[in-house]
Amino acid sequence: MAKKSKRRGRPPGAKSPDKMDVGQLRQYIERLQSTLSQRVSEQRAYLEEKLSELTGFGAPKKRGRPAGSTSKKTGSRKKAAPKYRSKKDPKTVWSGRGVTPVWMRDEMKGTKLKKDDFLISKG
């Protein structure tokens, strides 16, 4: 004997929202809103629990400082001294930090010049 396939959709006897009168629609909407608010509160509680577990991971580790020191370091560095100078335009310089500048790539293209050839000599 073959199994009956499960019915999909609304259970028998349930009305579609199109065919409900105003009172039935209000009850339907209230049920939906209560279900939604219940699920939202469950999800919020779950996420807050996970967040409380993670708070220790994101905090920066404290480093040892002298007992009397209260000053904080700022995140800025001093400006880097120029390390490379252009062969074509001596006013154009580069500190060596970050991506190789376009002027240097253009001057090296098609020639045997290398990055070391642009170094500013100290002396």
Give the chain's mean pLDDT: 81
pLDDT at 40 over 90: yes
Q: What is the pLDDT of residue 83?
A: 92
For residue 54, CA distances in Å to 37, 40, 41 come to 26, 21, 20
Count Cβ atoms below 10 Å from residue 118 Cβ, excluding itself: 20
Domain residue ranges in the chain: 21-56, 84-118
Rg (CA), the chain: 35
CA nearest to 104, candidates 79, 83, 81: 83
- What mean pLDDT do residues 56-69 have? 60
- What mean pLDDT do residues 94-100 have? 90
Q: Which residue has the higher pLDDT, 66 or 22?
A: 22
- pTM confidence score: 0.38
What is the chain's percent helix, strand, coil content, to nearest 5?
A: 40, 5, 55
Q: What is the pLDDT of residue 33?
A: 94
Q: What is the pLDDT of residue 58?
A: 60
Q: What is the band of 110 on the pLDDT scale with cuts at 50, 70, 90?
A: confident
| Helix extents (H) in the chain | 22-58, 102-108
Structural tokens at position 74: 């700022």
Q: Residue 105, CB half-sphere, CA atoms under 13 Å: how many? A: 4
Structural tokens at position 40: 């939202």
pLDDT at 90 over 70: yes
